[in-house]
């Protein structure tokens, strides 16, 4: 196989959670540009409609499904609808996520459960359903969990998000554990750990501490709308067929400085 062919995704279907905006939409665009049919899901129908229009303008085949993955009972209908529309799921990108800032000693129960439900429970329940109903029968598949460099360390000062850091560490080891168990089915499971990218989730922090973040980053920049695209295509494609259980930090070097 020629190198260029390794990255082609024609004829495949990718399900991307939290795909209506931000990093999820960027990754949907990348996979679609490489020939993938993309299924994007999120809670808000209007944001999904705008994302679909954006993708279709680029010649990408897209299906939208409104789904709230905070609710465990939403997982099976999401997979039902995806399989009904597309027949199979070759690539799953677990991107939907939540955060909540508060000191650990005052952290609300509600906040802890909200973050864990979306960042830990939903990726497992969705991977379990997609694996059982599509990838394991096909004896192939790619699962990409969007973790974070926050899962590699604690945080000081302006970052008081203990549930987020904990959940993203869980996502990294969930990636390792599932990769070890499902390798026998020819399913690759990997994680991407973004650093700071401008997004709705990071807007408040970057407004107050953006320059400090840049100053601590060896490449002296934030991530932009292109910086996850190559990584998600690599991990979704045959180019990464011998890579599993790994996490890739995309953070301008901030996690090593």
The DSSP annotation for 208-253 comes to HHHHHHHHTSTT-S---TTTTHHHHHHHHSGGGTT--S-EEEESTT
Comparing CA positions, the residue from 130, 104, 128 lying closest to residue 115 is 104
How far does CA 69 lie from the centroid of its chain? Answer: 13
Q: From residue 54, how far is each of 196, 197, 214 by CA, in Å?
A: 24, 20, 30
Centroid of chain to Cα 21 = 12
Contact 117, 70 (CB under 8 A): yes
Q: What is the pLDDT along the chain (257 residues), one digit of tens a residue?
A: 899 999 999 999 999 999 999 999 999 999 999 999 999 999 999 999 999 999 999 999 999 999 999 999 999 999 999 999 999 999 999 999 999 989 999 999 999 999 999 999 999 999 999 999 999 999 999 999 999 998 998 775 566 889 999 999 999 999 999 999 999 999 999 999 998 777 666 555 555 555 777 778 888 888 788 999 999 999 999 999 999 999 999 998 888 88
Show me where the domains of the chain are located. 3-247
CA 27-33-37 angle, 5° bins:
80
CA 70/CA 4 separation, integer angstroms: 38
Q: Is 103 exposed, middle or buried (0-12, 13-18, 19+ CB in 10 A)?
A: exposed
Write down the pLDDT at residue 200: 64
> How far does Cα 193 stand from its chain's mean position?
9
Give Dmax over CA atoms of the chain in angstroms. Answer: 55
**What was the pLDDT predicted at 69?**
96
**Nearest 5 degrees, angle CA 88-CA 49-CA 223?**
85
The domain at 3-247 falls in which architecture?
Answer: 3-Layer(aba) Sandwich (3.40)
Q: What's the confidence (pLDDT) of residue 158?
A: 60
Note the pLDDT of residue 215. Answer: 76
* All residues at 6 or more sequence positions from 238 whose CB lies less than 8 Å from its CB, including other chains: 1, 5, 6, 7
Q: Among the residues of 7-74, which ranges form H helices?
A: 22-33, 45-56
Burial class (CB in 10 A: 0-12, 13-18, 19+), 87: exposed
Can you give the pLDDT at residue 256? 84
3-state SS class at 173:
helix
pLDDT of amino acid 154: 79
> Where does 19-157 show beta strands of DSSP type E?
37-42, 62-66, 91-94, 141-146
Question: Which residues are designated catalytic?
Answer: 164
Structure tokens at 6: 């390794």
What is the pLDDT at residue 216? 81
**Token pair 């996979």 is at which residue?**
31
């Amino acid at each position: 196989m020629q190198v260029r062919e390794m990255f082609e995704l024609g004829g495949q279907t990718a399900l991307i959670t939290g795909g209506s905006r931000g990093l999820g939409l960027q990754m949907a665009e990348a996979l679609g540009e490489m020939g993938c049919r993309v299924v994007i899901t999120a809670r808000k129908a209007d944001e999904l409609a705008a994302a679909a229009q954006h993708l279709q303008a680029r010649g990408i085949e897209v299906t939208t499904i409104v789904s709230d993955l905070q609710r465990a009972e939403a997982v099976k209908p999401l997979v039902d609808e995806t399989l009904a529309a597309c027949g199979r799921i070759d690539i799953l990108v677990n991107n939907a996520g939540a955060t909540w800032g508060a000191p650990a000693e005052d952290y609300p129960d509600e906040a802890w459960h909200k973050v864990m439900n979306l960042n830990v429970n939903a990726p497992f329940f969705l991977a379990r359903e997609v694996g059982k109903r599509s990838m394991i029968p096909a004896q192939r598949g790619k699962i990409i969990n969007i973790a974070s460099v926050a899962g590699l360390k604690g945080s000081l000062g302006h970052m008081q998000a203990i549930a987020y850091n904990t959940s993203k560490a869980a996502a990294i080891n969930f990636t390792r554990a599932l990769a070890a168990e499902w390798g026998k089915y020819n399913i690759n499971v990997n994680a991407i750990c973004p650093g700071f990218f401008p997004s709705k989730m990071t807007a408040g922090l970057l407004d107050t501490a953006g320059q400090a973040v840049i100053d601590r980053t060896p490449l002296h920049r934030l991530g932009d709308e292109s910086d996850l695209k190559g990584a998600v295509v690599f991990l979704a494609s045959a180019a990464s067929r011998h890579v599993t259980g790994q996490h890739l930090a995309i953070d301008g070097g901030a996690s090593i400085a």
